[in-house]
Amino acid sequence: MLTLGIRYLTRSVAASDVADRRRVEWPPHPGRVFMALAAAHFETGADAAEREALEWLEAQPAPQIHAPAHAERPVVTHYVPVNDKAGPSKAALQSAAGLTRTRQPRTFARAWLEDDSAYLVWPEAQPGSRFGVLENLCGKVTRIGHSTSLVQVWASQAAPERPVNWLPDEAHGLERFRVAGPGSLLYLERQFNQYEIDEFFGLDAVASDASDKKRQKAAKIALREKFQNQPPVRLRPEMSLSCGYAQPRDEAEPSAPGTVFDPRMLVYALCREDGPYRHLDLAATLQLTSRFREALLQHLGPEPPEVLSGHHGGAPSELPHMALLPLPFVGREHAHGGILGVAVALPRDIDPADRQRLLRALGKLRHEGLKLGALGRWRLGVPETGASPLTLREHVWTGAPLGARQWATVTPYVCDRHAKAKDKAAYQRELEDAIRESWRRVRQSSEVSVEVVVTPVSAHLGAPASHEFPRLARKDGSQCRHTHAILIFDRPIAGPLLLGAGRYRGYGLCRPLGEDR
């Protein structure tokens, strides 16, 4: 085992997310930590044993992570002096005669930490004799991120003091963190460009020394031919290799039969950035999911796969595909029905490459934010393990792993086909049969049957009545009918349970009845 501990000496972190410099990068990406180790290596003599240890470390699989909870500080724009330049300036700050320094706006993303220490853990790593070298190298690291993000780093061969809360998981990752890989050290070395920079300034020193005319002339020729009399540049490194990460799950794989949707949903908190409403009303489900889908398709690029777009050859797909659903605060005495989060439900058999394409698109959307017109601008945040509202815990919506027998709609079921009976009792029976047929379309096991009770109001406190929701439009321009319902299965099933014609757009969303899980 190898553990790298990182103690943030000010109990705060200053490190900008590479995709959105207004936001803090947290947890610290393993790639950023590796760059800090590499910088310490290059800046202290580039010892050969350190290089070998770093090459061994970059070849290890992505580490597990423990990162304490954090609270981001509001981003403030600072005006800071930049490099000297010749000529007059309007800025009042003067650094030397004939030189001026202008001030440019800069932002520094920061966050306070609940605890001062984070850990990177490689459980199967066997560093052997390299451990002492890595331990010494860690002692040279003074910052990770901005120069004010002061740290103490150490190496250990014991488990960390805190349990890990982020695990590498390409199949079900909710986040993507930058990591090192084979060749990372060589890439950083090329970007740092130390050898050419040393050569340039060595030649420049000789070219300035008139004591040996022959050497001086040769140096000037070399400076002109190789460097065009300009110092070589150091390029900012960009660690492009990334790995999917997910938070640990307490529950085991579902033991109850489920639906065509994977119970491991992608859950995001819906956080207001600006706008008139503290929470979106559940009746705004269609506006939310429609805009969410449009934004995702833009980031997915041309020709997104059928499992994500829901279309095949220009026509609606007949196969299970991505569904977007609201996560409202319902089912409690004082529930207000406001949408606290949004989830993405995917088919169980989705190709891993398609899932990763979706995660990349979601990453872009999270940094861009979700613009909902008059409803404001909203950000998608990752719920904190153990600290998030119950509404944002997926087992509340899936009943996993043991499942539940009694379910009820939170958003109304939209009829796949309209009941035609004129008699009220017969009409109710037709609706019940339609809902049973919808269940048969999404069930995983043909052995599970269901009884249906149609009702105009939801059995979950806080959810609006069915008539308060906007109706879906049919192809002929008429409106689809919808209703709430209670479903009682002959055995426990696991969700997510989405039924009816609106199931991919947030309608027909069911939640288990009974005590909170």
State residue 286 phi and psi, 5-degree precision.
Answer: -65, -40
Domains 2-190+239-245 and 249-512 share a fold: yes
**Quick one: pLDDT at residue 93?**
47
**Quick one: pLDDT at residue 499?**
96
What is the Cα–Cα distance from 51 to 377, expressed in whole angstroms? Answer: 47
Q: What is the 3-state secondary structure (H, E, C) of 69-131?
A: CEEECCCCEEEEECCCEECCCCCCCEEECCEECCEEEEECCEEEECCCEEEEEECCCCCCCHH
Mean pLDDT across 267-289: 93
**Quick one: pLDDT at residue 444?**
87
Q: Of 117 and 24, which is predicted with more confidence?
A: 117
Q: Is the peptide bond before 464 cis (omega within 30 degrees of 0)?
A: no
**Quick one: pLDDT at residue 100?**
55
The H helix count followed by the E strand count for the chain is 11, 31
Which range scores top for mean pLDDT: 89-103, 166-180, 247-261, 294-308?
294-308
Domain limits of the chain? 2-190+239-245, 201-227, 249-512
What is the Cα–Cα distance from 169 to 34, expressed in whole angstroms? Answer: 20
Q: Tokens in use for 435?
A: 């809902």
**Quick one: pLDDT at residue 103?**
65
Alpha-helical segments (H) within 8-74? 30-43, 48-58
pLDDT tops 90 at residue 465: yes
Encode pLDDT of 387-408 as tens digits.
568 899 888 999 888 899 999 9
DSSP state of 205: H
Tell me the percentage of the chain whose pLDDT exceeds 90.
52
CATH number of 2-190+239-245: 3.30.70
Tell me the percentage of the chain whose pLDDT exceeds 70.
88
- Check whether domain 249-512 has CATH 3.30.70.1890, yes or no: yes
**Quick one: pLDDT at residue 86?**
46
Q: Tokens in use for 238?
A: 């960009």
**Quick one: pLDDT at residue 250?**
59
Q: Which of 29-33, 265-269, 377-381, 472-476 has the lowest mean pLDDT?
A: 472-476
What is the Cα–Cα distance from 227 to 200, expressed in whole angstroms? Answer: 7
**Quick one: pLDDT at residue 176?**
82
Q: Of 32 and 96, which is predicted with more confidence?
A: 32
**One-letter amino acid of 438:** S
User: Does pTM top 0.85 for this prediction?
Assistant: no
